[in-house]
Chains A and B, each alone.
Chain A
Amino acid sequence: MSVPGDWFLTLAAVLFTVGALGLLVRRNVLVMLMCVELMLNAANLTLVTFSRMLNDIGGQVLVFFVLVVAAAEVVVGLGLVVAIFRRKANATADDLHILKG
């Protein structure tokens, strides 16, 4: 018999929390993007677990789309980081107050 789904869901909740904690604590923009990836993976794990618990392939299809969106998000996010670093030598999240009104 396989591992019950609530174990996976609890693990995914912990992984999401760690990712959110990193996003709140870290100041390096690149590491913050990695923490977003952690949170996306926690959501993926949840979707696959629901897919197994309810015996429905829809959850796995949704994970497929999340992968595509994550790839697009990383491409645009890193493009923004490169554009910011071109103007400032050392850009942490605290230095990015250009958009402040």
Chain B
Amino acid sequence: MGLLTPVLPATVGVVDGIVFVVGAALVLGGAFGVVLARNPVHAALMLVTTLFGVAVLFIEEGANFLAAVQVIVYAGAIVVLFLFVIMFLGVDRLENLAEEPLPVQRPLAVVLAVLGLGGLVALGVEGHWAVGAHTVVAPVVGRSGGDVAALGRAIFTTYLFPFEITAALLVIAVVGAVVLSRRPGAGRALPPGRGEAPAELAPESDARLDAELDIDMEEAPR
């Protein structure tokens, strides 16, 4: 296997090898950063590193359109959504990773992960990594327009029906998000100025509001 040889094989160009090593370092460094970061914001930024590294590897493999989409959709939209929720909920405080409620959880998780990795790599080596028919849908290389034109042709001809289904899926996801994040009882008429409080928190927040009002009234005459 090429991975097991200590130096680059003669068939791999120097630039390709360097790009792969840099991309792999970005991917793995970011992945371990996500798992080990104590602060959720740092984990999200490490996730950006991983996603960017994957985009670099996509370009190395000739998937230019997917690399652009990876940066725009994943690093641009999804991570921003993560950061927005982290800061919206105010959970950007440090997490104590030394705390371990289930005693055997971590050793067992490491053992399972190593077993899974060993199984995957053994399966790949045993199965000669990629077997099957070549060029069933359409070739990636060799036609005009490159990978963008090939991808567009495949999506809007062979895969037109799944593409339409994704539109329905996105609409369902948007509706689901709206329903989930709707406050219970938001449809009812609420007194003006009190509509912001969630129903189950209303008594507590009313008490807090009254306390603040009292303080204001006490401080006002001075």
Contacts and interface: CB of A to CB of B under 8 A. Distances in A.
Nearest to A29: B91
A34 B82 contact: yes
A25 B35 contact: yes
Given A20-B116, A85-B89, A52 B82 contact: no
Contacts of B170: 68, 71-72
Contact of B151 (A17, A26, A57): A57
Given A22-B34, A30-B82, A6 B151 contact: no
B135 A56 contact: yes
Nearest to B114: A17
Contacts of A8: 20, 57, 61
A24 interface: yes
Contacts of B54: 41, 44-45
Interface in B1-52: 1-3, 9, 11-13, 16-17, 19-20, 24, 27-28, 31-32, 34-35, 37, 40, 43-44, 47, 50-51
A22 B35 contact: yes
A6 B34 CA distance: 25
Nearest to A22: B35
A23 to B, nearest CB: 9
Contacts of A75: 81, 173-174, 176-177
A74 B198 contact: no
Contacts of B17: 3
A17 B35 CA distance: 11
A82 B82 contact: no
B65 to A, nearest CB: 8
B50 A74 contact: no
A57 B139 contact: yes
Contacts of B9: 4
Contacts of B120: 13, 16-17
Contact of A10 (B32, B105, B121): B121
B66 A63 contact: yes
Interface in B130-176: 130, 132-142, 147, 150-151, 153-155, 158-159, 162, 166, 169-170, 172-174, 176
B135 A55 contact: yes
Contacts of B176: 75-76, 79
Given A35-B35, A38-B50, A51-B63, A78 B82 contact: yes
16 contacts: A5-B130, A10-B121, A17-B120, A18-B28, A24-B105, A25-B106, A30-B40, A38-B31, A48-B58, A54-B130, A57-B153, A57-B154, A67-B70, A68-B166, A74-B82, A81-B85
Given A4-B12, A73-B173, 12 more contacts: A2-B60, A3-B19, A6-B3, A6-B124, A16-B120, A27-B95, A30-B91, A58-B136, A60-B150, A67-B73, A82-B89, A87-B200
